[in-house]
A and B are shown apart, each in its own frame.
Chain A
Amino acid sequence: MAGTETSSKKVKKYSLLNAEKKKVSKSLQCPNCAAGLTLRGVGVSIAIKCESCGSIIDPRDENLSIISTAKSAKKFESGLEIGGKGRLFGTSWVVMGFIRREDVDEGFGWDEYLLYSRQKGFRWLVDFQGHWSFVSPTKYLPRVIPSGDEPKVTYESKTYDKFHSGRARVVYVEGEFYWRIAVGDKAEFVDYKRGNDQQVTAETTDDECVWSESNNIAFSQIETSFKVSADARLRALNPVDDEDAPRSRAHMNKVLMIAFGYAFISFIIFAASALFSQNKLVYVKQVTAKVPIQGEVNNPNVITENIEFTGSNSNVVVDVVSDVNNGWTDFDVTLTNEETGVAYSIAGSNEFYSGYEGGESWSEGSRSFDHTFYDVPAGKYVLDVDAESTTSVPVSIKLRRDVPDVFNLIMSLGLLFGFAFMGEIAFYRKELFNFWVEHA
């Protein structure tokens, strides 16, 4: 080309022209409190926080419009020094800003650092309770493939599965940003995961949807590149367990789904057993308890009777109610299978006391007792009951066969809550340990 020589001369001139004005930074005065500010991202940042009054300012026009004034007194410490430099993946980055965000519904928080390189633009480092990741904007839009409740995403020929979603809110900022950030900014996010360490995220606000991809990064890499605060270091050395980390709504929903499912199935089993059980009253009789006489032994039973149980193996419930007041009833109930000789035996007592004292009536103890024998085969049985009481009170003996068993349901649900409780303890033990480390 004819003009190549002259243009290369001109190129040199341009380079010289620019080399003369070396430093590029801009001094501003906060329009709210008149403190001096130095803008690093000249022509790049459109929001800068005034550290003396907490206002966020748009530095673009000479009037310096205020985006927001300080809203919250709550302060968070940046784990990386704002303005600090570090080299990662072959590029030199400057820490431009620090954002503390919280999950609106779950309340947990995390830290984000905005990195800037003149050549590569913006990236983020995210410190999620000690787990660090490096976040880049996606080059183009990932494709969302709806499939029921769990949509998938394809990006750069890879498929990602929906992992969790939630709403994030900005609770604190420091430094400079390339968008008009404000405390209180909300975004809905959906994370899609591939394997353990690759993730793409869609963040939607009223105006737009922004996609980013993130990869886990070892804390040692952060530490060799940037100056890290003692708190952030401690978090990274003792991070929240991976399993506990996504204590998000989606994760909790999953856990709750399983728990409800389990409880539901337990209930269904109970209901079905109730529906199909005979719940049959086999025997009822009212007798009078004997009053024991000192020195006398081998008292005859109050009941000795033949009874029969039908159906397949199932439970037998014994109810003993004695109309006793200010005294006790002791009893033995035995069921002996006539064919096999197997005996089912239970001893118990009802004690009941009541009175009237100082204008108030009181009572303690119980007049009734029940016991369940499990897995009792059908057949002919001999029922022996011995009952002794302080006075000769009426005692009612009742036998019920194939009774729906609430005990199983209670056991089942108890087990469920037991597991949940142990899970909570495991989680809070970690939290307590962190607290102890920080305050010891």
Chain B
Amino acid sequence: MSEFQCPSCSGVLKFKSTSSVTMTCPFCTSTVVRHDLNLELLGKVSGTIEDLSPLQVGTSGYVGSKAFQIVGRATYSWDDGVWNEWRITYLDGSNGWLAEAQGEFTIFDDAISSADKGFLNNLKVNAEIDFNGSKFMVTDIKKAECIGVEGELPFVGTKGRKGTFYDLSGFKNEFLTFEETEAGSNLFRGQKIDFDNLKLSTLRYIDGWD
């Protein structure tokens, strides 16, 4: 079972995604790391970022006919903006990310592990590349830092994590994000999805805003 007691406040912590390695205790905001049978306390990291996102840990929705729930969140900041990466776990046990940048939502699958990433060397803005038969263009290369975490995440030490993020857009609705961080490099593939099409429930209410 993936149910634990918070080593700090004894609150019941249940990992919803089997891929999760860390969790922020919702009761005392301590960060814990999951080992086989016990939890390691990393200490309190007041990481939650206050923003206007309509999403929250616990929000559920659909990608097509696949139901998902948000289990965690990492917020990144760079010189010219802020974005959220919501960790989602599907009802069938698979996982992914819902990226939220300036109110636009992109659904990413889990990192592509087997991909030959050779083409990602020396990427420059406006460079065009081929990937799996599709053309992509590099739209953005930014150095960003994780400024806050919440809920469950599949890696340790997320807050303060620095990295270089490459955003690539296709000429149809498909996107690639390549991130190089201290923990390694990962390639993600995704597509944009309308807020309405996500059919979200348990959204976050904020007074004074629709």
Contacts and interface: CB of A to CB of B under 8 A. Distances in A.
Interface of A: 1, 3, 6-7, 10-11, 13-15, 17-19, 22-26, 41-44, 46, 60, 92, 94, 116-122, 137, 139-143, 178-180, 207-209
A180 B80 contact: yes
B51 interface: yes
B119 interface: no
Nearest to B51: A43
Contacts of B57: 14
Interface stretch (B37-45, B109-117, B164-172): B164-172
B26 A17 contact: yes
Nearest to A90: B196
Closest 7 interchain pairs by CB? A121-B103, A43-B51, A22-B207, A11-B58, A92-B210, A14-B58, A141-B169
Interface string B147-187: 00000000000000000000001111111000000000000
Contacts of B169: 140-141
B175 A15 contact: no
A24 B139 contact: no
Nearest to A7: B16
A295 B162 CA distance: 115
A393 B173 CA distance: 93
B175 A140 contact: yes
Contact of B52 (A19, A60, A118): A118
B192 interface: yes
A24 B14 contact: no
B52 A43 contact: yes
Contacts of B21: none
A46 B81 contact: yes
B16 to A, nearest CB: 6
Contacts of A120: 103, 195
B52 A141 contact: no
Given A7-B14, A117-B103, A46 B82 contact: yes
Given A13-B26, A17-B26, A139 B192 contact: yes
Nearest to A46: B81
A407 B167 CA distance: 65
Interface in B97-132: 102-104, 125-126
A19 B207 CA distance: 9
Given A14-B26, A43-B53, A139 B82 contact: no
A122 to B, nearest CB: 5
B82 A44 contact: yes
A11 B202 contact: yes
A179 B80 contact: yes
Given A46-B82, A208-B140, A22 B14 contact: no
B149 to A, nearest CB: 14
Given A7-B69, A24-B50, A42-B50, A118 B210 contact: yes
Contact of A46 (B80, B140, B175): B80
A118 B55 CA distance: 9
Given A3-B14, A17-B26, A122 B102 contact: yes
